[in-house]
Amino acid sequence: MNIEWKYKDILRTSFYTVFKKGVLPWLVLVGAAMLFSLFGAVGRIDTLVLDRIDSIFGLDSFMTPDNLSVLEDYASDSSFGKKVNTEEYSVTNELVMALARKNTLIVQLLAMNKEYMKRNSGEVLGLLIVAMLLMVFANYFFANVMEIGKARFVLENRFQREGRYRRIFAPFGSKKFLHLILVYLRYFIVMSLWMLTVVGYIYKSFQYSMVPYLLAEDPELSWKEVKKLSKEMTKGYKWKMFVTYLCCIPLFIIDTFPVLSFLVSKPILMQLDAEMYIRLRERTDIDRKAFIEPVFDGRAYVYEYREAKAAGKKLSDELPAYKMQDIMLGITDFDKADKYKLTDFIVMFFMFDLVGYIWEVSIHIVEDHKFVNRGMMYGPWIPIYGFGGVFIIFFLNRFKNNKPKLIILTMLLCGVLEYLTSLVLDIAMNASYWDYNDMSFNINGRVCLAGLCAFAIGGFAGIYLIGPAIRGALEKFGTKRTRILCSVLVAAFVTDLVCCKIFGPNSGKGIGGSAVETAKQCLMFIR
């Protein structure tokens, strides 16, 4: 079938969809263009913009000798540095600089406390490496996710007054997320191999250009299906698609300007790709089973809007009836039965705080016959126990009927919380309230396996016993009295925080560096 491919009509429809529906729809599309640029779905955010942001926040000054010399010295003195460095060239210094460039904000934050960097140079380098790997993974991961989400967003934007940001994630509902990632991974690998050739890559870029749009319309398609259908859709039209892009040379020129690119060129180019998909979708000589959205067979909203406006009528803003529903978070029957109120969590927080406080104080009383306020605050609470207990119940209660998964997730959640808390205290206060370096299976002395096992036991008690018991007790206590109790507890906690700010955190014998002794005593006390 020969489709009527009019270049001016395709460009006009794309332009009108961006600029002729009103200011608010245009601003929504501009915001989407910035979001997609951030994650690499329509090209990275312009370097000039990033440089300007760095200069505003003072992040362009991170590469100072004082900030990085400690890390460079540490890396040079390591066994790895001694093997790879030469008198003429320092490999480790170049690696440190490369990591710093990739993690500008992290370096800037850590450099605020040079004493911490001196004490924990190895940990800082480790954090920079982990952060860089996470950034690489996130760039690939989110860019692929956003390619499909962007396709869904711009397709729907063609048929309604304005796009909806939540619809970016609609294709990933109903447990299709992993499937789409795997399909797009194969697409990524194929295109990466074709990059080894120049002409072949350009040809395949047009041939497979419909893949994200096909997945955005029908997420259940396999790689073989989308590959075959994209080939069929673009057969005989790849040159016309190329010429259509040639007509957009002024837009590509505008795209080189940081601000204008988001306001003008990127929104039009996004809609242009969607417009070409809609045109190729009209073919009747291909298998049309993948085209499951009847709405996509209709006219562009902008033309109906302009006709209604010319006739003095108001077009309904009612959204089209798409078959693809919004993404829904799965909730089990257990979740519905175990819903907790905000006041429940507030009381739980202070209950876990108190239990942790009593536990740590009791160890010193039993072993040393001394009363020691083990918390960093002055009151009878240790916040890490409160946050840990609340987080476990809030995030992991849905897994209460899957005990192996609950154990693993509890240890993981508490481990991350304990590590980050220790790290923040070390950076912000130069204080170490616990140190597990003498314990087996520890990570930088901040978390250890024995502690995580103890947290897992506490998590079980919180989910199966303490949480339900607190909720039941508060129901009997009454809503009004519960709110008064929560208000008093929160006021006391905030007052304690203010005191810590004015007078400094709690310190003294038994606080800080001697926490390793406490950890050992915990195990002895348990045994």
pLDDT per position as a tens digit, 288-328: 888 999 999 999 999 988 888 888 888 777 889 999 988 76
Amino acid 111: pLDDT? 65
- The full set of domain ranges for the chain reads 1-317, 333-526
Angle between helices 467-477 and 479-503 in degrees, nearest 10: 120
Q: How confident is the model at residue 332 (pLDDT cuts 50, 70, 90)?
A: very low
SS3 content of the chain, % helix, strand, coil (to 5): 70, 0, 30
Question: Greater confidence, 253 or 86?
Answer: 253
Query: pLDDT tens across 223-252, in order?
Result: 999 999 999 999 999 999 999 999 999 999
Mean pLDDT of 442-459: 87
Mean pLDDT of 95-114: 69
Amino acid 153: pLDDT? 95
Q: Where are the alpha helices (DSSP H) in 45-103?
A: 47-56, 65-77, 79-84, 91-102
Average pLDDT, the chain: 82
Amino acid 108: pLDDT? 63
Mean pLDDT of 14-41: 88
The Cα–Cα gap between 274 and 236 comes to 18
**Burial degree of 304 (CB within 10 A; 0-12, 13-18, 19+):** middle
> Residue 337: pLDDT above 50?
no
> Of 38, 32, 103, 44, which Cα lies nearest the Cα of 71?
103
Q: How confident is the model at residue 103 (pLDDT cuts 50, 70, 90)?
A: low
> Residue 49: pLDDT above 70?
no
Amino acid 134: pLDDT? 78
Question: Greater confidence, 49 or 463?
Answer: 463
pTM exceeds 0.85: no
